[in-house]
Structure 1
Amino acid sequence: MDDTEPVQPSLNSNYVPTTPGNHHVSEDEESDDQSPSSSLLPKHSSVPLAVRYSPEDSYCFVYIIFFLMGIGSLLPWNFFITAKHYWLYKLSNNTHGSGNKEHRSDLSDYFESYLAIASTIPSVLCLILNYVLVNRLSSNVRILSSLFVILVVFVVTTVLVKVDVSDSRTEFFIGTLASVAVVSGASNLFSGSVFGISGHFPMRISQALISGQAMGGTLSAVASILDLALAKDVADSALAYFLTADVFILLCIMTYLLLPKLAYSRHYMLAATGDGGAAAGTGSRVSVPPLQPILKKTWVLGLSVFYVFFISIMVFPAVSSGIQSVNKASGSPWTTTYFVPLTSFLLYNVADFCGRQATAWLQVPGPTSRVLPVLVVCRSVMVPLLMFCNFQPRDHLHTVLFAHDVYPVVFNCLLGLTNGYLGTLPMIYGPKVVPRELAEATGVVMSFFLTLGLAVGSAFSVLIVHCI
């Protein structure tokens, strides 16, 4: 449980549970007063009764549902970027043949860089759209519509696995990027809406969502490796891989529809609805929160988030997944088939998960410390370190300084660990350094800095791949 996040009750203080005898004081609320940052939070006595007393989360069903929602919010992006062998095969000059050998082409060389651009730019636009629609369109409509859009795109992607696109690779390239753009926009609406709902629940539910997001990349990397190990060729591997994504998205839809039927979630969602109606009656929900006081308090934290993800997306996956084993000529499965999925995708995502989870127990440096932005800037060294590994093909920068397989292993672990830790700390601190009524809007602003960093970094990743 993460006690570093502020309590965000937005429930109507007049709401009283119908059967208070069946309710208990939530552990999350009891522990809030023990938070090391409790001076930044409102006193426990100010928390509404509806927040302090709730039904039990039987069998942790609600926790599990939000954990799945967290995985689902990043699953589409992770499944697209980890299917590297499939995209190389589909965009190469060898799809007429029956072998798995990949031939170089301009489309495959720069596909991952353009993939990052197609993903992050729509995310920035949809984040702004979500900020505008949050008080005008119900969360149910936003969440279910975005999930159905993601499902349709993934079903089409799955069908195209068995379609020969040898004579229309450019059209397939453009169509894939368009699919990524649509999925990224829908995923952004989905994740933002789910975060909004989790704000009405105790902190353990928000922690479930964050943990699920961190786990999404790891699961997609593991699924990719298993598909490569079990499938006979690239096409069969990709088919099983994308079918897995289809099933998981369906699971997210079904579990979300189950959420209002559970007493624990119904308690908080009913209270939130009552508060929303009262707020709407006063016209406060349709007003746009002021940006100036938010930026005045959080501009350093926002720039830190921006730069962390700017550096990360600049080299992952466009550069890191292009680093090949120096012993690839040996022909062993480790050096040819599993080196990139293991050293780039799996290690990075596991390290990122560990970095994010570490913030639940350690929050150093603090929100006002100058050390945090210094550490963030120091991550710039990861760019040249990965560039001078055995990235292939190399057209301009022919020197390989780190000619051993252990170097990309260490560098990718450092990249993921620092991304998870230094990227999460500012996101936690942001809503705590502003007045309580601006906390939710501050979360949206911090998310904007994060997504903007991904968008700008993805554009620079194209430049770096061209330079190498």
Structure 2
Amino acid sequence: MYVTCSKDYFESYFSIASAVPSVPCLILNFFLVNRVSSKVRILSSLVVMLLIFILTTVLVKIDTSAWTKEFFVLTLSCVVILSGASNILSASVFGVTGQFPMKHSQALISGQAMGGTISAVAAILDLAVASDVTDSALAYFLTAVVFTLICIIVYLILPSMEYSRYYLSISNEKSSSSSVEGAATGDSRPTLEANSPPIVPILRKVGVLATCLFYNFFISIIIFPTISASIESVNRESGNVWTTIYFTPITCFLIYNFSDFCGRQVTAWVQSPGPNSKILPTLVFLRTLFIPLFMFCNYQPRKHIATVIFQSDVYPVFFLSLFGLSNGYLGTLSMIYGPKVVPKELAEGTAIIMSFFLGLGLAVGSAFSSLAQLI
């Protein structure tokens, strides 16, 4: 019973395990932003992630057939810890990046999507050439260990770069001047240096953008990967390798991640609609229509919706391309606008608030994604 349940809800379990921990971790990160330096938050997150990847690499070579249930729980626990650490990491890094020109925030977000694209390509190549699943898993996790170590080294080098010192010093000077002005005027309110960023003033500035970010990723996580990975080729019965082996890795993961990357990259050249436009929230809300579009593809298993309207593999490819492009473009616009519509000294706190709403959208959406299994 346990095995069957785990198999049926596998994607939902991992979506929930990866998304739900982001909310408390992002809240924690917000309250730590002016109490614990970004350097400590970033390095501690990277170290935690490194340790988890090392543990997972070791487990690859251990026979877990005698304790399948315990191993599944351990795997989910590792996903939870990794998710928490990576969310603190990404929010902290985005907070620091918010102190730089907008192009750097855009590059950071595009880089995240590029990572997904590279992973999808690696998975497809693995299907084509690998002969042993254990060796493939070992290669994946060793790669994660190596790249995490590289991230730690590169981040330690960052403060020594003159370019980064310039922009970080500007932000520090503005924060310090705000504290001095408060003391000079006899303002007894807690200073920004000693406390968390002021939530209400920030939300007044970025409330609509934060809502757009929340809803954009709420819709995205409902569909990807729970629904999109369950769409099968309409010609699956033919038995060829495209319909049985490569259809899901290519149509679901590669096409979505590449389209998402393209959508994020476009924002480097085109930034429209603007942060105060009503068109942006309208476009974000219209992404809701993707849910019925995907459900009427060859989504399996079908329980209550018997009709497959889109009787061609072209449809899920087209829908996923548009879905990924819209997620990357609209999500990136909402994210990068946030820290730029507030005073410079509030940029890091605003970036973390925006990251919170992104994580909240993923968490709530992952909970709703399990309902797709009942349709």
Give the TM-score, by structure 1 length.
0.72
Contact between 2:296 and 2:309, CA under 8 Å: does it hold in 1? yes
- The letter of the residue matching 1:206 is S
Partner of 1:7: none
Partner of 2:305: 397
Q: Matched residue of 2:35: which SS? A: coil
Provide closer, same or farther for how the CA distance between residues 432 and 446 of structure 1 changes in structure 2, counting only shifts above 3 A: same
> Given that residues 130 and 136 in structure 2 are in contact (C-alpha distance below 8 angstroms), is that contact kept between their aligned partners in structure 1?
yes
Say if 1:347 and 1:412, in contact at 8 Å, map to a contact too: yes
Query: Which residue of structure 1 aligns with residue 95 of structure 2?
Result: 196
Structure 1 letter corresponding to 2:333? L
Q: Which residue of 2 aligns with 1:112?
A: 11
d(CA) in 1 for partners of 2:211, 2:99: 28
Name 1:347's counterpart in structure 2.
Answer: 255
Offset, 1:254: 2.0
* Aligned equivalent of 1:243: 142
Q: How does 1:115-264 map to 2 (within 5 A)?
A: 115-264=14-163
Q: CA deviation at 1:183?
A: 0.4
What is the letter of the counterpart of residue 152 of structure 1? Answer: L
Q: Distance in 2 between matches of 1:292 and 1:275?
A: 20
- Paired with 1:416 and 1:266, the residues of 2 have a C-alpha distance of 35
Counterparts of 1:261-300 in structure 2 under 5 Å? 261-266=160-165, 268=167, 283-300=191-208
How much does 1:92 deviate? 10
CA distance in 1, matches of 2:73, 2:221: 21
> 270-279 or 435-444: which moved more?
270-279
Alignment of 1:453 onto 2:361: yes
CA RMSD of aligned residues (A): 2.6
- Taking the aligned partners of 2:166 and 2:282, their CA distance within structure 1 comes to 44
C-alpha offsets along residues 37-78 of structure 1, whole Å, 9 cap, x if unaligned? xxxxxxxxxxxxxxxxxxxxxxxxxxxxxxxxxxxxxxxxxx
| Deviation sequence 1:393-421 (CA, Å, 0-9, x none) | 33443332223211111111111111111
Whole-angstrom distance in 2 between the partners of 1:204 and 1:267: 16
Cα offsets for 1:321-370 (capped at 9, x unmatched): 11122222333222222111111111111111111122222222232322
Three-state SS of the structure 1 residue aligned to 2:226 is: coil
Whole-Å separation in 1 of the counterparts to 2:206 and 2:178: 26
Superposed displacement of residue 145, structure 1: 1.4
Give, as a single letter, the amino acid of the residue that structure 2 aligns with 1:169. Answer: T
Question: Which residue of the partner structure matches residue 360 of structure 1?
Answer: 268
What does 1:399-438 align with in structure 2 at a 5 Å threshold? 399-438=307-346
Aligned length: 366
Please list every run of 5 or more consecutive structure 2 residues that lacks an aligned counterpart in the other structure. 184-190
Deviations 1:376-403 (A, max 9, x none): 1111111111122222233443332223
Percent same amino acid among aligned pairs? 61
- Give 1:440 shift: 3.5
CA distance in 1, matches of 2:10, 2:35: 37
Q: Is the 8 A contact 2:228 2:294 kept in 1?
A: yes
The one-letter code matched in structure 2 to 1:140 is: K
Which gives a bigger RCO, structure 1 or 2 (Cα 8 Å, sep 6+)? 2
1:330 maps onto 2:229 in alignment: no
User: Of the candidates 364, 373, 379, which is equivalent to residue 287 of structure 2?
Assistant: 379
- The answer to whether the Cα contact below 8 Å between 2:234 and 2:311 also exists between their aligned partners in 1 is yes
Q: Residue type of the partner of 1:223?
A: A
Q: Report the alpha carbon displacement of residue 132 of structure 1 after superposing the two structures with TM.
A: 1.2
Indicate how the Cα distance of structure 1 residues 462 and 144 shifts in structure 2: closer, same or farther if over 3 A, else same.
Answer: same
SS at match of 2:225: coil
Instruction: Tell me the distance in 2 between the aligned counterparts of 1:254 and 1:413.
Output: 36
Match of 1:442 among 333, 350, 357: 350
Q: Which runs of 5+ in 1 are unaligned?
A: 1-90, 94-104
* Partner SS state of residue 232, structure 2: coil
1:21 counterpart residue number: none
- Find the residue that maps to 2:66 and give its secondary structure: coil
In the alignment, is the contact (CA less than 8 A) between 1:350 and 1:416 conserved in 2? yes
Residue 268 of structure 2 aligns to a residue whose secondary structure is coil
Q: Are the structure 2 counterparts of residues 304 and 277 from structure 1 closer, same or farther at C-alpha, using a change threshold of 3 Å?
A: closer
- Measure, in 1, the Cα distance between the counterparts of 2:94 and 2:159: 16
Give the conservation status (yes or no) of the 8 Å contact 1:280–1:286.
Answer: no
Deviation at 1:189, TM superposition (A): 1.3
Amino acid at match of 1:232: S
